[in-house]
Amino acid sequence: AMDNVRSLLERNKQFEEAHYSCRELLEDRINNIEKYVSRWLVIGLGVNFLFMALIAVYFNFQFISLRKKVDHRYFLIKESLESIHGVKLDKGNVAHKF
């Protein structure tokens, strides 16, 4: 039984040594892959955020120009009634005409 345990420990040690030498061989390649991936991830995210910011600015200006085009007099609100009829309303009654 002890021989069995000893051979298992020996095999385990050999496996660990092989594992470490393999890891050392792969370390540079893995580092290169990680650098490459992280570089492109950062570039991609940067481009994405820039694109999103440009879209936000574009639609903001579109919305502002649209809001300027829409005349508030199309809507039945107090300001539009005052503007159309040239009066000042107070609690639903005409306060004075201009």
pLDDT of residue 73: 62
Residues 65-76: tens digit of each pLDDT: 887 777 666 677
- Alpha carbons 54 and 21: distance in angstroms, whole number: 50
Range of the domain at 8: 2-69
Range 11-26 average pLDDT: 85
Separation between Cα atoms, residue 80 and residue 74, nearest integer Å:
7
Residue 80, in any domain of the structure: no
Count up the domains in the chain and report the number: 1
CB 59 within 8 A of CB 53: no
How far is it, in rounded angstroms, from Cα 74 to Cα 15? 82
Residue 51 within a domain: yes
The pLDDT, as a whole number, for residue 90 is: 84
For the stretch 30-70, pLDDT in tens is 899 999 999 999 999 999 999 999 999 999 999 988 877 77
Judge whether 93 lies within some domain.
no
Question: What does the pLDDT look like over 73-92, one tens digit per residue?
Answer: 667 777 777 877 888 888 87
Does the predicted TM-score (pTM) go above 0.75? no
**In-domain check, residue 91:** no
Helix (H, G, I), strand (E, B) or coil at 75: coil
CA dist 34 and 93 (Å) reads 74
